[in-house]
Structure 1
């Protein structure tokens, strides 16, 4: 009888364990389904269904970031977003990338109040994007400005001579694929590049003049590549107010946005780095003692700036290319 009672107890224990694991499996499966559905819908933002102020961080080197452009468009379409804070900390990047994001910000601002809040730096294409907002707030010691455009290319002819390397080429016209690092730059090539740069520069200055309510002459006077502190930028009408996120929220309040609403950051998709998911990459980096072994580390080293092509709106581009 004792053996039979023990068998019954064992069966009950086994039944309880099976029940627990069945419930756990179902719960995990349900969470996975919800997670996949959320990811496929692109709504990875906590609290996105309730009224809130959306915050978007625009950091590092500016490029034509498809994920960022998509996020800004989703924010524009979201009925839950009542106002937007662009948190900008960037030395600039490609002129075309700044233009694309500027256009997206203006499209967003046509439907919702948008304020730019500058952290350490909003220079060149970073300032171009900030100027797309309806109000700009910066710290007293923030760096703002560097309005301008440049093109940089190396001259490798001296190194080629030392190595005994000679380039042979056949092309359809003298300016095809020029300027080239493999031969000295000619005056017609420099004139071609100068014409392109001045045209984009004129467009950039026009944006500043229009968005900051100043004359073209006033904007041109500020567009000599100079950078300014937040206090200096305020005196020059490049920003509207000195402060941080609290001041940005207060300004949204003047536009009918409830200042008590939660500020929710709309983050980029978790794409990871190389073949590693971001979470695994971060864990590996911490284990090796080198920080996040991910695209963030790549950007922090300044290596992303080595591969910029085309016209740049970038502050300290030469040092940036060296990762300094």
Structure 2
């Protein structure tokens, strides 16, 4: 069948052979679904490709990149992606027994655990995770420096830290983001890589439109195609050239394909590169507001 939003519903056939389905999840903030875990283990977790390709494009907006409701921490009815998933899970649980176990993990320790109805678990986790991870600041930063920890394994995962930084920085075309992520595994997603290569010679707005038109509709969407949209819209709001990175990735590729300015010189350590960049920034902007974000899982709210 279909969800009430028109999404065709297909799931792994093994689900229907089980006496009870027990998703065990850890809820986290998610940059377009609002909150990950619980119901997202069903879709996209065990959903058919056609289901995902119809659900995920609901996030896109031609001018803004993402519709306003598709944002970190927002899982209410203004978020079309998670609303659709919630409806699909509600329909599925009428056909099979689903008993969820959900946790929230902080610094490697389980700080929250609950079990029961998967949709209710999602709603409760949303309330708890937003309260736990929200940090309010009095004004947007001129420069935000973010360390990616384990998320810095590749550029695709690093996008989560870039997004977290974006919430804290000025969006007037003059804000700067400095990401510290080694990315030993390179890009990390072939679809992300291909779309960025194809759009690298276009302006930010034209590149955004190109990706949306060619890779983000219901016929062409694949997991990974949303990442260039998020990256390009962030670069558009902070200003081209204002996203910088300390990384092991090829400097030319970072700059020409991903529009990220490499900071680290070959002879420098990461700490030396960061120090040099900050000192140079402060000499030009002595009154600039600098934020250091050591946990990319936080939701920064500018009051």
Tell whether the structures are fold-level matches, with TM greater than 0.5: no
Larger radius of gyration: 1
TM-score, normalised to structure 2, is 0.28
Of Structure 1 and Structure 2, the greater helix share is in 1
